[in-house]
Amino acid sequence: MRWYGPHDVVSLNDIRQAGCAGVVTALHHIPAGDVWPLNDIKERIRAIEEHGMTWTVIESLPVSDDIKRQSGNWQEHIANYKQSIRNLAACGLKVITYNFMPVLDWIRTDISYPMKDGALALYFNRADFVAFDVFQLKRPGAEKDYSTEEIKEAEKQFHETDPAHHEKVFRNCLLGLPGSTEGFTPEMVLEELNKYGHINAAQLKQHLFEFLREVIPVCEETGMVMAIHPDDPPYPVLGLPRIMSCEQDLADLADAVPSVANGLCFCTGSFGARPDNDIVTMLRKFGDRVHFLHLRNTKRDTEGNFYEAAHLEGDTDMYEVMKEVVKLQSRRNISLPMRPDHGHQMLDDLHKTTFPGYSAIGRLKGLAELRGLELGISRGL
């Protein structure tokens, strides 16, 4: 399971009791672009090992927006990133998760969407998001990114819902980072968006490849691997380019930097939010580059909305995914680190304040389902 450090309401003891052998975490107190010091890494390892678990996957070692834009202190940040890789390797860690999404890591319009059973899920409502972008954030030129029909539907929905709903959507869209309870201000977001005004998808993708050509040799030298997380949602938002959303993006990544150290954090939820992604085919085709798995499920509709479904429900056939994962592990003779993701807030956790998507019981439910599915498939094969 993912752990957000000493201030996470879900403790290491909770995670150990859930049956986890390992913890996925990061040093969230260190700003993007700075070096991760050896002492901080060792202290985090010590805390995890005291609870009978290991830390082998870093999620995430963030790539600064300076690197993504190739502006400001980007060359210094790349040098610092290389040193962080060496420090992590010296402490025995193996897998670095990261993403190349500009400004915002993920966006949801509702972080407490009620399910039929009373649990709460994360939800992306397309009309709410368009209304946020055009009528609340008032991003310059936002209207050009949507069809006339989308603008009309967003305007209709905006006028038919009350101010409390508008405020909730506004607050949720500006949350910014997974594990964050503090959002960006509109002024901050507009300022950051403006800095990407001259960068299109092709240029951003080139910046990713140039970053990887710098850091992958260090990974090869130290025995580390990089695992990029796909875009979430897997299409452009707020006028920002998205470059890791579909099968062609994965092919471009592999072609640009062929080393297997240049790998994937394969997230079935992010890829699954896009109907033209064939999850099992993608997993089969790029399986040798998969170093880490996020197993979650989403349920889409034809309007562009989706919510986080239970792990064995939704649009992705988790049985077929897990069967491919079991075969992949057998063929590569490894045990891939994987975790449940974005569990529902349920039971006693409904009365707690937790990081959106990262309450304990919903993830425990997903973990139990996925472990059972893996065991059944492994025995059957």
H helical segments located in the chain: 12-17, 38-49, 65-69, 74-90, 126-131, 148-160, 163-173, 186-195, 201-222, 247-256, 268-272, 279-285, 318-332, 360-380
Catalytic annotation present for 51 = no
Average pLDDT, the chain: 95
Q: Is residue 241 within 8 Å of 201, Cβ to Cβ?
A: yes
The stretch 95-124 carries a mean pLDDT of 95
Catalytic annotation present for 173 = no
Please tell me which residue in 207, 229, 291, 344 is annotated as part of the active site. 229
Residue 133: other Cβ atoms inside 10 A: 20
Which domains does the chain show, CATH number per domain? 12-107+193-380 (3.20.20.150)
Helix, strand, coil percent content, the chain, rounded in steps of 5: 45, 15, 40
The pLDDT score that the predictor gives to residue 185 is 81
Helices 247-256 + 201-222 axis angle, to 10: 50
**Any long-range contacts for 369-376 (C-beta under 8 Å, 24+ apart)?**
369/310, 369/311, 369/312, 370/295, 370/311, 370/312, 370/318, 370/322, 370/338, 370/340, 371/19, 373/312, 373/318, 373/319, 373/322, 374/322, 374/325, 374/326
What is the phi/psi pair of residue 317, to 5°? -80, 95
pLDDT beyond 60 at 182: no
The stretch 269-287 carries a mean pLDDT of 97
Residue whose structure tokens are 């995914």: 321
With pLDDT > 70 as the criterion, what percentage of the chain qualifies? 98
Going by C-alpha positions, the residue among 333, 326, 98 that lies closest to residue 225 is 98
Catalytic annotation present for 342 = yes
pLDDT beyond 90 at 336: yes
The pLDDT score that the predictor gives to residue 180 is 46
The pLDDT score that the predictor gives to residue 188 is 86
pLDDT tens digit sequence for 20-31: 999 999 999 999
With pLDDT > 90 as the criterion, what percentage of the chain qualifies? 93
What is the token pair recorded at 343?
């569990």
The pLDDT score that the predictor gives to residue 105 is 85
Please tell me which residue in 173, 246, 265, 267 is annotated as part of the active site. 267
pLDDT tens digit sequence for 117-143: 999 999 999 999 999 999 999 999 999
pLDDT tens digit sequence for 49-101: 999 999 989 999 999 999 999 999 999 999 999 999 999 999 999 999 999 99
The stretch 100-111 carries a mean pLDDT of 92
Going by C-alpha positions, the residue among 111, 273, 251 that lies closest to residue 179 is 111
pLDDT beyond 70 at 148: yes
Catalytic annotation present for 341 = yes
What is the spatial distance between Cα 160 and Cα 259, in angstroms, rounded to a whole number?
52
Q: How would you classify the pairing of strands 262-267 and 225-228?
A: parallel
Catalytic annotation present for 246 = no
Q: Is residue 325 within 8 Å of 337, Cβ to Cβ?
A: no
Catalytic annotation present for 294 = yes
Please tell me which residue in 294, 311, 344, 349 is annotated as part of the active site. 294
Which SS3 state, helix, strand or coil, does residue 321 take?
helix
Residue 82: other Cβ atoms inside 10 A: 18
| DSSP code, position 34 | S
The pLDDT score that the predictor gives to residue 176 is 59
The pLDDT score that the predictor gives to residue 179 is 45
The pLDDT score that the predictor gives to residue 186 is 85
User: In which band, very low, low, confident or very high, does the pLDDT at 175 lie, cut at 50, 70 and 90?
Assistant: confident
Q: Is residue 96 within 8 Å of 225, Cβ to Cβ?
A: yes
Q: Is residue 148 within 8 Å of 154, Cβ to Cβ?
A: no
The pLDDT score that the predictor gives to residue 183 is 60
Going by C-alpha positions, the residue among 104, 135, 91, 64 that lies closest to residue 231 is 104
